[in-house]
Amino acid sequence: MPGIPNYRGLRRTPNRKALLDAAEELFGRNGFGAVSVDDIVARAGVAKGTFYNHFASKEDIAGKLALDIRFEVRDRISLIKPTSSDPAIHLAIAATLFLDLARTKPRRAWILANLLGEATDVQAAMNEPVRQTLAAGMAQGRFRSASPEVALVVVLGIVAAGIRHIVERPPPDPQAFSVTLTAHLLGALGLPNHEVQAILAAPVVAAIRAGA
């Protein structure tokens, strides 16, 4: 098919993964609207009927792909969080990982920001861990906000906008931009600047930026 890069061996993977891999590549490169189910199955090297054995529509595969990306980042956060009991460190870990995705894997970050409808929904179950972190921080006096819901709006808004900015209008130094954005996020929750700087310099947060 014209415009489709050379085959990269997706047939060697299970059909569902082949379809998700193809959708990730095509959505990330061409955008959602420019990609059809026919494009996805041609790129994956499977029959069109196979697509509908796994997904109901293009919207369905887009949503599941974005959710898979979100869960991958969530799992990384869950592995790192036990290194600290401080909710402010936990929040910095989460923000750094999501913003770092925009820097290191912009296609995946674009898909997450644009194709996951619940990403910025404060009522969505997927955002409950962030809400709990914010509630814990408020209970400990680490964060100041009218409510965990208000704090969640602030956090989701800053991170989502940051991802889009890094992907769509890459700053000269994306990593420095990410650090600055995380600093403003923590400051918006009431942490004084000297504590913000200490959190950003914490080994666990610095290791994420270094790719460890």
The full set of domain ranges for the chain reads 10-55, 63-209
pLDDT tens figures, 77-101: 999 988 889 999 999 999 999 999 9
Model confidence at 9: pLDDT above 50? no
Banded model confidence at residue 120, pLDDT cuts 50, 70, 90: confident
Q: Is the pLDDT of residue 10 over 60?
A: no
Could you report the per-residue pLDDT of 37-83, keeping only the tens digit for each?
999 999 999 999 999 999 999 999 999 999 999 999 989 999 998 88
Interatomic CA distance for residues 108 and 24, integer angstroms: 7
| Mean pLDDT over each residue of the chain, to the nearest integer | 89
Burial class of residue 107 (count of CB atoms within 10 Å of its CB; 0-12, 13-18, 19+): middle
Mean pLDDT on 124-128: 86
> Residue 171: how many CB atoms within 10 A of its CB?
14
Percent of the chain clearing pLDDT 70 (strictly above): 92
Q: What is d(CA 29, CA 133) in angstroms, rounded to the nearest whole number? A: 34
Residues 165, 175: Cα–Cα separation, whole Å: 12
Q: How far apart are alpha carbons 164 and 15 in whole angstroms?
A: 30
How far, CA to CA in Å, does 160 sit from each of 17, 46, 60, 147? 26, 34, 21, 20
DSSP readout, 116-139? -GGGG-TT-GGGHHHHHHHHHHHH
Q: Which H helix or E strand runs over 169?
A: none
Q: What is the largest CA-CA distance in the chain?
A: 58
Q: What is the rounded radius of gyration, in angstroms, for the C-alpha atoms of the chain? A: 19
Is the pLDDT reported for residue 186 higher than 70?
Answer: yes
Alpha-carbon gap, residue 24 to 21, rounded angstroms: 5
Q: Regarding the domain with residue range 63-209, which homologous superfamily does it belong to in the CATH classification?
A: Tetracycline Repressor, domain 2 (1.10.357.10)
Return the CATH class of domain 10-55.
mainly alpha
Q: What is the pLDDT of residue 212?
A: 53
